Amino acid sequence: MLKEHIKESSIEEEDRRYEYALRYFVSYKNASKLNGYLGKPVYMQDVVKGMIKTSIRKGWQDNAFNQFVSDLIPFDRMLPDVRDEGCLKRNYSANLPEVSVVICFHNEAWSTLLRTIHSVLNRSPGNLLKIIILVDDFSTMPHLKNNLDEYIKKFPKICLLRTKRREGLIRARILGVMKVNTPVVCFIDSHCWLEPLLDRIHNNPKTVVSPVIDSIDTSTFEYISQDAKDILIGGFNWNLEFVWKQVPSSIVRSKENVSAPIKTPTIAGGLFAINTEYFKHIGYYDEGFDIWGGENLELSFKVWMCGGLLEIVPCSHVGHIFREHFPYSGKKGSFKRNSVRLAEVWLDEYAKYFYQRIGTKGLYGDVSAKKELRKKLKCKSFDWYLTHVYPEMKKTIHNAASGQFWIYTREGRIQSENLCLDYMLNVVMLMTCRDLNDSQVWLYENKTKYIRHMQTRYCLQVTATERFQVSLERCMEDSVQRWDLENFDVDKLVPELKNSSQVF
């Protein structure tokens, strides 16, 4: 029986029955500990049949992650303390502001939604957390109707709002923030801590802060934390897509103070805290945006250019499920429309680099009010942003046509100078080359022409819609996954890779 079908019986009792009934089908080393204890992965047995197999398949189809495994993990999941030691020595103000947490969702799985809610309740000091505002963006799944209404009745700090039509993430968040009456509002996703974020906003209300976003594996729900020394910050490319990047040398971080907040050009957008009045002052989001996409860059540019700053706070960690695709449909072309609105209002003369990549602008609506807001706020130019906030991005304009020389090493690294091709947080990126880093090991198969990522077994491909980007996908008969390596000799590979090449 799936949770979606629970109607009459006690939810707590059904939760216990459901977990007990399914635990038989799961293998884990220490049966005395609950599934997912301390962030450990939950592995399914190799052979599952019948209803269990059907349930697993349906969970992937509905959510783009393994809902079956998620349903086996308690809502009050125990996690390790992954913070740097320096975080434990930090003292925070005794007068931190109260916060409201806004969680928007659309057809979210029962277990991930409730685990998010319980995580916020259990890991937030009661004197700081005033309310959790749930915004149901016109969900259609049965378990998000009466079952959810009944479940949250026992939590006085939870408020549920429902939209009357599909609004999308951006307008749903605006609806949620309109109900906030605390100095700070914190947005988190429904499929994913507090004092370090509030302390920064308390010191400077124009600071917008994001926690370190750790990864939760979509299949096993293993909690994979980022080391404080290797924390990534946000950037973007000229497709106006958010990208993760290493902390540049221009941002000095001493080894003795790796727990200090880091300035970041952009934030991912799913998880951040902001002063409520400041959010209102800068005009919230662009309400002309559809569904989702681009809102994080709009907020990032707006904050930096209009007198604020963005930081990632290493002493605050939040786990997030990075789905490979979105399981629900949205308005076609919304990302392009949103990005054009973003470019028209904020990019000034640099918008041409975006338009060179997309061709026609298409219909994007009236942006005159947003341009007027920018003028009213006396925001700086985008050239100022690139010069003072993201100088590395400005260099890409002048070096866009220059080629790069790549080496495939005998250890399986794809290397250019001191940078290696890496795969983290579901993104292919360049990172400093490091020994004993499995995420930087690739296998070139001379027969198939695949470049296979050894950790995931997926293949490197040119992103079909954007020919200058690469991603990892399941290996298939497709020209975008075929690569030619000059002077390749399999006998020169280290034995482990050479043996692996004979398996595939």
pLDDT confidence band for 8 (50 / 70 / 90) = very low
Q: What is the pLDDT of residue 253?
A: 56
Give the pLDDT band (50/70/90) at residue 191: low
Q: Report residue 427 as tokens.
A: 């993104």
Q: How far is CA 384 from the centre of its chain?
A: 27
Closest of 209, 220, 135 to residue 169, by C-alpha:
135
Report yes or no: 203 and 261 within 8 Å, Cβ to Cβ: no
8 A C-beta contact, residue 299 and residue 267: yes
* Residue-range domains of the chain with CATH: 3-72 (no CATH), 85-320 (3.90.550.10), 407-501 (2.80.10.50)
Phi first, then psi: what are they for 234, rounded to 5°? -95, 145
The mean pLDDT value for 355-370 works out to: 90
Q: Residue 340 in 3-state DSSP?
A: helix
pLDDT by residue (tens digit) across 136-190?
Answer: 999 999 999 999 999 999 999 999 999 999 998 899 999 999 999 999 999 987 6
Residue 342: closest CA among 238, 210, 235: 238
**Please, is 397 exposed, middle or buried when counting C-beta atoms within 10 Å of its C-beta (0-12, 13-18, 19+)?**
exposed
Q: Which two tokens stand for residue 499?
A: 């043996």
Q: What pLDDT is stored for residue 33 in this prediction?
A: 56
User: What does the pLDDT look like over 205-220, one tens digit per residue?
Assistant: 999 999 998 888 888 8
Q: Residue 463 pLDDT more than 80?
A: no
Helices 334-346 and 368-376: angle between axes, nearest 10 degrees? 40
User: Residue 112 above 50 pLDDT?
Assistant: yes
Confidence at residue 325, expressed as pLDDT on a 0 to 100 scale? 58
Do 46 and 40 form a contact (C-beta atoms < 8 A)?
A: no
Residue with tokens 């609950």: 34
Residue 306, number of CB atoms within 10 A of its CB: 19
Of the two residues 57 and 33, the one the predictor is more confident about is 57
Q: State pLDDT tens for residues 382-415.
A: 999 999 999 988 876 754 434 456 788 888 999 8
Q: 44-53, 62-71, 384-393 — which one is most confidently predicted on average?
A: 384-393
Q: What pLDDT score does 292 carry?
A: 75
Q: 3-class SS at 2?
A: coil
Residues 35, 65: Cα–Cα separation, whole Å: 17
pLDDT of residue 441: 93
Number of alpha carbons in the 13 Å side-chain half-sphere of residue 301: 24
Which stretches within 361-494 are classed as H helix? 368-376, 382-388, 391-398
Name the range with the highest mean pLDDT among 50-54, 65-69, 244-248, 310-314.
Answer: 310-314
* Burial category of 16 from C-beta neighbours within 10 Å (exposed 0-12, middle 13-18, buried 19 and up): exposed
SS3 342: helix
Q: What share of the chain is helix, strand, coil (3-state, %, to 5)?
A: 35, 20, 45
Ranges of H-type helices in 334-470:
334-346, 351-358, 368-376, 382-388, 391-398
- Classify strands 223-224 and 309-320 as parallel, antiparallel or unpaired: unpaired
Q: How far is 210 from 203, CA to CA, in rounded Å?
A: 15
pLDDT band at residue 250 using 50, 70 and 90 as cut-offs:
low
User: 80-84, 136-140, 451-455: which range is least confident on average?
Assistant: 80-84
The pLDDT score that the predictor gives to residue 417 is 64
Q: What is the β-pairing status of strands 470-473 and 232-236?
A: unpaired
Contact (Cβ atoms closer than 8 angstroms) between residue 261 and residue 200: yes
- Stated as kind and residue range, the H or E segment containing 263 is strand 262-263
Q: Which amino acid is at 392?
A: E
Label residues 184-210 b or e (16+ Cβ within 10 Å = b): bbbbbbbbbbbbbbbbbbbeebebbbb
Identify the three-state secondary structure at position 226: coil
Whats the size of the chain, residue-wise?
A: 504
What's the alpha-carbon Rg for the chain, to the nearest Å?
23
Map residue 217 onto helix, strand or coil.
coil
Read off the pTM: 0.72
The pLDDT of residue 337: 93
